Every structure is written in structure tokens, then in C-alpha cells.
């Protein structure tokens, strides 16, 4: 992945980096003490961030795929690019929606694994491009980073809150006639094994990244150990990893995931999308927020409304009635799942266009 030298782009990147860290770290740091204290928040408060994600960053962050991909490919939005994205959503989203009706439990498992990859994939972009870290120096390190960053929100809550994790999965499959009650995954033995393995992978990933910073990369190229930026990048990655471990282990899953989805994953992806638009980059480099904010909101408005229509259609089509807040939110997350598959395909394409998995120019 080539390092960009455009002063306007770098200025915009620094601004969005600061916003991403502020809005990502602040709620996590605020909620960890709540988890440590064991405070029991009312159900409405726990579900509020997920409900808000329908219009606050969550649903809109993927709604702009139809402009993001063409801009990454050609630098402008054209009919061909928009059509390709629309077809991806119709074909992949339609097939996945059918799977929920035909086999809800496998569909739910796929959603967890897909989100694991996609959220890890999102943080890999942030680390390599938005933050400009230099310790992810080969595909193995990138794969480990995706595994760890995606596993933090998808696996760690299972370790701390197995009962609530099972209940949330139940809200995914219950409306379609499925059940997860008999899964051994929620028993203590499997959770201990999963936790130990994931902790080991986390430590390996950080240690391998540190070795790269210290000049011990597998290919022998390494980084200059006097490079303060390289060390700071690794420390930032390590700090975020430790923070997220504590956050997802201690904060109730629905609340933790809702806040993370809105203010960590979605906001950082929006930063990526904004950086693809030349006019928004120029405006941000001059400290002007109105144009990029308004442009994003305008481009996201109609697709977000259509996506919310998917939620309504699911509500009408599910075999059983959803009558609780948890059940309604579970159905909303199923709609998110249906949209996540094509969205992930688009982001994989963005990764390719932006060289996120290319290491030819690193070292």
C-alpha cells in the first residue's frame, strides 16, 4: 500500500483519525467502570445504541457503498459502478435472506463469522491507512490483526456473558423457527478453551507486531528501531486491543455491541468513505465540516430508508410474532445481517483497490 503525499488528504486523514479515536475511546473508557461496578442498566438503555444505529452511523455507513466503490475505482460516481453495487446487494442479500427462512441457525452462525471478518477487516484498514501504522508488515500479520480485531466484539462477550450472548442469538433465530438452547458452546469448558486460544492469538499478534517494529520481520527487512512513528503506531494498536478486551469482557453485550457498532466500526468506515471524495477532503483540510457531513448524509439518506424498509418487510414476513424490545432488535439485526454480506463484498473490493493487503511498498 503506497503512502499518500497529498497535503490536503493527509490533513483530512489526521482530522478524521482524531475524531475516530475520540468517539471510539471515550464511550469505551466510560462504560468499562460501569461494567466493573456491575451496575444493572434498564433494558431500554442497553438497547438504545442499537436502536439508534438505524439512523446514527450504523445503517448509513453501508448505505453509501454505491458511491464509495466507484470513487475508489475511478475517482468518480458513474452508472456502471452504481449498477454493480446494486446487483451485489440484490443477489447476495437476496440469497442470504432466503437462507434465514430456510436454515436460520446456520444463517445466524454465518452472521457471527461474517461480522467477525468484516469488523476485523474494517480495523485493518484503519490501522494501515487512517492511522498509518507500520508494524503490519506482511499478510500473516494482517490476517492475525483481522482475526483479533474482529474476535474482540464477536467472541469476547461470549466469555463474559454467555447467557446474554445465547439470548441475543435466540432473538435472531426464534422468529424463523430455530433454536440455540442446546448449544454446548455456552458451557464453561468450551468457553475456557476458546478464551485461552483467543488470548494466545492476541498476544502472538501483538508480539509479532512488536518484533516487526524492532527490526525482526520474517523477511529480514524490518523497521528502523529509531522510528518513533513505528513504535507509536504499535502502541496505539496495543492500547486499543487491551481496551477492547476489557470493554467487551465487562460491559453487557447488547450495550457494548451497540455503542461499538455506531461509534467505532461505523464511524471509522465513514471516515474511509469521506476520504474517497476529493471535495470532502479539500473541505476537511480547511477545517470545514458542513460540506462533507451534508454530502454524506444526502448520499446515505435514500439507501438508509430502503434498508429500513427491509426491516419492515421482515417484520411482516416472519413466521412468528415479535412482541418484545429484544425480539424487535433481533429482527433488526437480521436485516443488518442480510445487508452485511454484500457490504462486506464491497469492502473487500475497496481493500483491493486501496492496496490494504499489499505489502510491496512496506518495509
Grid coordinates of 35: 461494567
Contact 339, 54 (CB under 8 A): no
Nearest to 271 by CA among 8, 66, 23, 13: 13
In a domain, 361, yes or no: no
In a domain, 332, yes or no: yes
| CA 105 – CA 173 distance, rounded (Å) | 6
pLDDT at 310: 85
In a domain, 350, yes or no: yes
Q: Which residues contact 168 (CB under 8 A, 6 or more apart)?
A: 253, 254, 326, 330
Contact 275, 12 (CB under 8 A): yes
Nearest to 336 by CA among 302, 311, 300: 311
Contact 25, 267 (CB under 8 A): no
In a domain, 360, yes or no: no
Contact 343, 118 (CB under 8 A): yes
In a domain, 293, yes or no: yes
Contact 215, 222 (CB under 8 A): yes
In a domain, 267, yes or no: yes
- As averages over each run of 10 residues, the pLDDT of the chain (363 residues) reads 72 95 96 90 90 93 96 93 95 95 94 97 96 93 98 97 92 87 88 97 96 65 58 95 97 95 97 96 94 95 92 79 79 92 97 91 42
| Domain extent for 328 | 7-354
Phi, psi of 361 (to 5 degrees): -105, 10
Q: Which residue has the cell 439508534?
A: 52
SS3 for the chain is CCCCCCHHHHHHHHHHHHHHHHHHHHHHHHHHHHHHHCCCCCHHHHHHHHHHCCCCCHHHHHHCHHHHHHHHHHCCCCHHHHHHHHHHHHHHHHHHHHHHHHCHHHHHHHHHHHHHHHHHHHHHHHHHHHCCCCCCCCHHHHHHHHHHHHHHHHCHHHHHCHHHHHHHHHHHHHHHCCCCCCCHHHCHHHHHHHHHHHHHHHHHHHHHHHHHHCCCCCCCCCCCCCCHHHHHHHHHHHHHHHHHHHHHHHCCHHHHHHHHHHHHHHHHHHHHHHCCCHHHHHHHHCCCCHHHHHHHHHHHHHHHHHHHHHHHHHHHHCCCCCCCHHHHHHHHHHHHHHHHHHHHHHHHHHHHHHCCCCCCCCC
Grid coordinates of 271: 471516515
pLDDT at 220: 43
Whether the CA torsion 293, 289, 81, 126 is positive or negative: it is: negative
pLDDT at 331: 87
Longest dimension (CA), the chain: 62
In a domain, 1, yes or no: no
In a domain, 359, yes or no: no
Specify the number of domains making up the chain: 1
Amino acid at each position: 500500500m503506497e503512502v499518500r503525499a497529498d497535503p490536503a488528504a493527509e490533513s483530512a486523514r489526521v482530522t478524521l483519525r482524531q475524531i475516530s479515536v475520540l468517539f471510539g475511546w471515550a464511550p469505551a473508557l466510560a462504560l468499562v467502570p460501569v461494567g466493573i461496578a456491575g451496575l444493572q442498566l434498564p433494558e431500554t438503555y442497553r438497547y438504545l445504541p442499537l436502536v439508534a444505529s438505524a439512523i446514527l452511523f450504523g445503517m448509513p455507513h453501508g448505505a453509501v457503498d454505491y458511491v464509495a466503490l466507484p470513487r475508489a475505482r475511478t475517482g468518480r460516481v458513474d452508472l456502471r459502478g452504481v449498477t454493480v453495487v446494486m446487483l451485489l446487494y440484490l443477489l447476495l442479500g437476496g440469497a442470504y435472506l432466503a437462507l434465514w427462512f430456510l436454515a436460520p441457525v446456520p444463517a445466524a452462525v454465518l452472521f457471527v463469522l461474517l461480522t467477525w471478518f468484516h469488523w476485523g477487516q474494517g480495523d485493518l484498514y484503519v490501522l494501515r491507512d487512517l492511522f498509518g501504522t507500520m508494524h503490519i508488515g506482511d499478510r500473516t500479520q494482517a490476517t492475525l490483526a483481522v482475526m483479533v480485531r474482529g474476535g474482540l466484539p464477536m467472541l469476547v462477550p461470549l466469555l463474559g456473558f454467555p447467557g446474554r450472548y445465547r439470548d441475543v442469538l435466540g432473538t435472531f433465530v426464534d422468529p424463523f423457527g430455530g433454536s440455540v438452547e442446546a448449544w454446548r458452546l455456552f458451557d464453561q469448558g468450551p468457553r475456557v478453551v476458546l478464551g485461552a486460544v483467543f488470548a494466545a492469538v492476541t498476544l502472538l499478534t501483538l508480539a509479532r507486531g512488536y518484533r516487526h517494529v524492532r527490526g525482526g520481520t520474517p523477511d529480514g527487512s524490518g523497521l528502523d528501531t529509531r522510528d518513533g512513528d513505528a513504535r507509536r503506531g504499535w502502541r496505539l494498536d496495543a492500547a486499543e486491543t487491551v481496551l477492547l478486551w476489557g470493554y467487551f469482557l465487562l460491559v453487557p453485550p447488547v450495550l457494548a455491541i451497540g455503542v461499538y457498532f455506531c461509534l467505532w466500526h461505523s464511524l471509522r468506515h465513514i471516515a474511509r468513505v469521506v476520504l474517497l471524495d476529493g471535495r470532502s477532503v479539500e473541505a476537511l483540510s480547511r477545517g470545514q465540516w458542513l460540506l462533507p457531513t451534508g454530502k454524506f448524509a444526502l448520499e446515505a439518506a435514500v439507501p438508509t430508508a430502503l434498508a429500513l424498509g427491509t426491516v419492515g418487510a421482515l417484520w411482516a414476513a416472519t413466521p412468528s410474532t415479535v412482541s418484545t424490545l429484544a425480539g424487535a432488535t433481533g429482527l433488526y439485526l437480521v436485516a443488518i445481517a442480510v445487508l452485511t454480506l454484500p457490504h462486506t463484498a464491497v469492502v473487500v473490493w475497496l481493500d483491493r483497490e486501496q492496496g490494504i493487503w499489499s505489502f510491496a511498498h512496506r518495509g
